[in-house]
């Protein structure tokens, strides 16, 4: 059975990974349902501060995934949200490629609605990107979008947790003013929402740097192929490099989007239906739709006995190991995380590339001189599988210097002949060396005497 956390949450299987922890499907023994649980993996104080900020959010909105409860157990902490089974926008685009404009209008409207609720709490998300926008598994019905992962979100006026010359976020979804070191603000989230809309319309990650450069040099470009002009005008306004030229609020962007949606043609009978599949897969062995099939050690005894509170949920456990727990607000889905004692699983979700990095110009990585090749070089060592080369450009560690390419190997037969030619020939035996030397001196003396007689 899975490991029980704080006498209440039983971890079932990993379903993804966030910026500070892995995402786990877990059974809540109190509420008798599956939730998503994020467990803090890093024990440093900096990560714990971000964790505390994220779990403190209590935003009640149908398109926001705010934490619902948290617990602490010895040196580990977690918080939970409702479980979302439809994957992220990355999964959706991976299944269908560019999405129909009418479908994109629905998703963008829900994203802006969630951002409006977040901004109403004076919170800047700072990491709006396709991987952080999750979907309910609604099949071919109306999609339901949920904005998640508030790991680097902050309220206006709160102290920053990074140095002033560091930028926090995901490269490729940062507003131009963020790259210049401006304080986080709502227009930066709207710029990222415009990039998400462009990603859905084109089916690929947009080149934000080239797009901003074109805006600055040539003005607003024309709509991409297949994107209706009314919808493009809304997206282009979100993508303006100058924050003053964007929509002032997410609510204002929604109003413009609603007007543009009325001008779009209705989907035809031959248009492909977009279906949002269940991306979580079946439950692992030992777990069923109604929870674990057997009692696991560590579950609070009052929960196993089936006691319920006034709301009909199982009674809150009393566990001597749990040092803190808060339950307030509605439950919302959240990524979960692995417990440090467990072996690292193979995650099905993509890794988050959110992080902090210094403002441009970037510091050049030191160039390490390559060692001179040996006369007979050994085979190159195998690459370290722990090095994540796919995210090396987004991290602060130095890029790995490639190992020197091995020199061409010489056939063994040729090496043997060459070694025999290069080896010094042995001299005469030690017993014959002195007589030969005396004979040579005698010959030299006779020759010299003969020359003097001539």
Active-site annotation, residues = 127
* In the block, residue with structure tokens 């010959």: 443
Query: Is residue 8 within 8 Å of 317, Cβ to Cβ?
Result: yes
What are the φ and ψ backbone dihedral angles of 44, each rounded to 5 degrees? -80, 155
- The CA distance from 14 to 25, in Å, is 6
Question: CB neighbours of 303 closer than 8 A, spacing ≥ 6?
Answer: 7, 8, 29, 30, 314, 315, 317
Instruction: For residue 25, give the nearest of 313, 278, 331, 335 by alpha carbon.
Output: 335
Query: Is residue 28 within 8 Å of 159, Cβ to Cβ?
Result: no
The end-to-end CA distance of the chain, in Å, is 113
Beta-carbon-side half-sphere exposure of residue 234 (alpha carbons within 13 Å): 30
Beta-carbon-side half-sphere exposure of residue 255 (alpha carbons within 13 Å): 6
Question: CB neighbours of 343 closer than 8 A, spacing ≥ 6?
Answer: none
Tokens of 210: 């080239």
Query: Is residue 69 within 8 Å of 313, Cβ to Cβ?
Result: no
- C-alpha separations of 147 from 49, 89, 183, 414 in Å: 21, 11, 22, 67
- Enumerate the β-bridge partners of residue 133: 147
- Enumerate the β-bridge partners of residue 11: 26
Query: Is residue 79 within 8 Å of 21, Cβ to Cβ?
Result: no
- The CA distance from 11 to 427, in Å, is 79
Instruction: For residue 71, give the nearest of 239, 294, 295, 319 by alpha carbon.
Output: 319
Question: CB neighbours of 396 closer than 8 A, spacing ≥ 6?
Answer: 355, 356, 357
What are the φ and ψ backbone dihedral angles of 10, each rounded to 5 degrees? -105, 115
């Amino acid at each position: 059975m899975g490991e029980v956390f704080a006498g209440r949450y039983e971890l079932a299987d990993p379903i993804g990974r966030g910026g500070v922890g892995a995402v786990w499907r877990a059974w809540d023994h109190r509420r008798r349902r599956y939730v998503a649980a994020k467990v803090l993996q890093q024990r440093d104080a900096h990560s714990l501060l971000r964790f505390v900020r994220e779990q403190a959010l209590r935003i009640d909105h149908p398109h926001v995934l705010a934490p619902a409860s948290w617990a602490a157990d010895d040196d580990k902490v977690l918080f939970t949200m409702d479980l979302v089974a439809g994957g992220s926008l990355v999964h959706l685009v991976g299944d269908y490629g560019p999405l129909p404009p009418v479908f994109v209008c629905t998703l963008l409207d829900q994203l802006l609605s969630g951002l409006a609720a977040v901004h109403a709490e004076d919170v800047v998300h700072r990491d709006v990107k396709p991987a952080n926008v999750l979907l309910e598994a609604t099949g071919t019905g109306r999609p339901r979008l949920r904005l998640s992962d508030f790991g680097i979100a902050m309220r206006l006026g709160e102290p920053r947790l990074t140095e002033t010359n560091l930028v926090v976020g995901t490269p490729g979804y940062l507003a131009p003013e963020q790259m210049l070191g401006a304080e986080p603000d709502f227009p930066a989230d709207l710029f990222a929402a415009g990039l998400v809309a462009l990603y859905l319309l084109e089916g690929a990650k947009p080149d934000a740097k080239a797009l901003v450069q074109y805006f600055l040099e040539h003005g607003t470009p024309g709509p991409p192929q297949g994107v209706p002009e009314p919808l493009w005008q809304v997206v282009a306004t979100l993508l303006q490099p100058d924050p003053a030229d964007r929509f002032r609020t997410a609510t204002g962007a929604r109003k413009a989007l609603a007007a543009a949606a009325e001008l779009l043609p209705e989907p035809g009978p031959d248009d492909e239906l977009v279906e949002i599949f269940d991306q979580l897969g079946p439950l692992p062995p030992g777990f069923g739709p109604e929870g674990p099939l057997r009692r696991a050690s560590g579950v609070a005894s009052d929960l196993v006995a089936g006691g319920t509170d006034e709301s009909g949920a199982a009674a809150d456990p009393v566990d001597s190991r749990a040092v803190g727990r808060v339950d307030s607000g509605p439950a919302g889905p959240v990524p979960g995380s692995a417990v440090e004692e467990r072996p690292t699983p193979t995650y099905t979700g993509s890794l988050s590339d959110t992080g902090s990095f210094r403002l441009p110009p970037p510091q050049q990585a030191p160039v390490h001189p390559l060692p001179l090749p040996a006369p007979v070089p050994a085979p190159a060592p195998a690459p370290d599988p722990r090095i994540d080369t796919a995210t090396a450009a987004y991290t602060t560690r130095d890029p790995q210097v490639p190992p020197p390419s091995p020199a061409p190997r010489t056939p063994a037969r040729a090496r043997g002949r060459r070694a025999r030619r290069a080896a010094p020939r042995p001299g005469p035996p030690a017993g014959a060396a002195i007589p030969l030397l005396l004979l040579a001196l005698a010959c030299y003396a006779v020759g010299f005497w003969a020359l003097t007689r001539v």
